[in-house]
Amino acid sequence: MQEALVHLVHRDAKLAQVLAAVTLPDPEPTGDLYYDLLDSIVSQQLSTKAAAVIFQRFLTLFPGEYPHPQQLLALDIETLRSVGLSRSKAHYMQNVAEFWLKEKLENKNWDEYDDDALVDYLSQIKGVGRWTVEMILIFTLQRPDVFPVDDLGVQQGMMLVYGLEKDRNLRKRMIEIAENWRPYRTTASRAMWRWKNQQKNSN
């Protein structure tokens, strides 16, 4: 990560101030793309805290608290809803399990896919969109140059740091700014999350 920090500090003065003020802990990846994909679906449009509670309840439905695809598909939707999942998310999670079995992905070598190819591949699953796969790229596969431009936390962080307005040009301006961060946009995005959370907690 040190190489990324040095690069970013030299390329973006405002980001350098953020990096001096936040701590970026080393990621602790599970290495389990299937598990993390389910977790990411639960996290869609929820706070981190609420999503963590629901996902933990979801895990208690399974022996050993691991949602093996066959076991997940064997549960009815109402059982899944009983732990706090919406009907649509319950279906999406079963879609993941079905895709996993159909494509025989248990021992898949994900290094064979570049970032865009993996987004295209996993987005075939109904309920899995670009943001969900970007979270997998960042946290599970630890790819160094991912920029989740549609992530609310990244947007809020960049609005604070760069004085951006939430208007129709926001996405375009974010992409322009993030060009300076290549090839370490993941680290910069994580810094935006941390900065946004620090500002929220200090107010």
Task: List residues with catalytic annotation.
Answer: 151
The Cα–Cα gap between 100 and 5 comes to 36
From the CB of residue 104, how many other CB atoms can be counted at a distance below 10 Å?
8
